[in-house]
Chain A
């Protein structure tokens, strides 16, 4: 079955710096890769996603890149702000509909003012 690894487990950056979180997956059949942000005491919230036929996607300060050959994808946050502090999860789809996922273990991002 699918296995998703995520690094680093914790990340501290200064406000205004960039943050990068990396994930690898094992099943080449996975074709949809969402990223979720989870704030303390809340459920995960989708922040960006990418499909396997796309190499990069941007949404303001957030971008995701995908390398299908190497089976890895990364989240890039530029100009970090204190409100970016949260736990971030990557996920890979495990069905043809892209609705069931295997999640990475999470990265706790702290943005220091």
Chain B
């Protein structure tokens, strides 16, 4: 198992450019999510998905789009990059919680994005 993989590892964008951060998992997890990590602020939830075709917004969704066409992939799109989106982005996945039981969330290695 490769686990959760993210590409690219590093990216520099100019203000206004668009790009897609890729996330894939090979564990057949239903649940996937995107977080951003900023210094001194912990991780903040951007978007999440409980299965193919189903997505929802997290705490900080503005400026980001997601889609989930397959169980394995959950790309994050930046439509028009802004300097405020400079951050480290983490993708995570787990089995869908049920019956009050939570499964471990596995995080990818992250993508460091700089917007100039």
Q: A residues touching B (Cβ–Cβ < 8 Å)?
A: 1, 4, 6, 9, 32, 34, 36, 41-46, 49, 51, 89, 91, 93, 97-106
* A6 / chain B contacts, CB cutoff of 8 Å: 42
At the interface, yes or no: B108 with Cβ under 8 Å from chain A? Answer: yes
* B48 / chain A contacts, CB cutoff of 8 Å: 99-100
* B92 / chain A contacts, CB cutoff of 8 Å: 43
Please tell me if the beta carbons of A102 and B102 are within 8 angstroms of each other in the complex. Answer: no
Please tell me if the beta carbons of A44 and B107 are within 8 angstroms of each other in the complex. Answer: yes
At the interface, yes or no: B94 with Cβ under 8 Å from chain A? Answer: yes
Q: If the complex has contacts A98-B97, A99-B94, A99-B97, are A43 and B41 also in contact, measured as CB distance less than 8 A?
A: no
Please tell me if the beta carbons of A106 and B42 are within 8 angstroms of each other in the complex. Answer: yes
Q: If the complex has contacts A49-B102, A97-B97, A100-B58, are A44 and B45 also in contact, measured as CB distance less than 8 A?
A: no
CA distance A100 to B50 in the complex (A): 11
At the interface, yes or no: B90 with Cβ under 8 Å from chain A? Answer: yes
Q: If the complex has contacts A32-B102, A43-B109, A43-B110, are A103 and B44 also in contact, measured as CB distance less than 8 A?
A: yes
A-B pairs with beta carbons under 8 Å apart, 13 shown: A42-B110, A44-B43, A44-B90, A89-B43, A91-B42, A91-B43, A97-B96, A99-B31, A99-B48, A99-B97, A99-B102, A102-B45, A103-B35
Please tell me if the beta carbons of A43 and B90 are within 8 angstroms of each other in the complex. Answer: yes
* B33 / chain A contacts, CB cutoff of 8 Å: 99-100
* A102 / chain B contacts, CB cutoff of 8 Å: 42, 45, 59
Please tell me if the beta carbons of A103 and B109 are within 8 angstroms of each other in the complex. Answer: no
13 new A-B contacts at CB < 8 Å, known A34-B102, A41-B109, A100-B33:
A9-B40, A42-B109, A43-B90, A43-B109, A45-B107, A51-B100, A89-B43, A93-B102, A99-B50, A100-B48, A102-B45, A103-B35, A104-B42
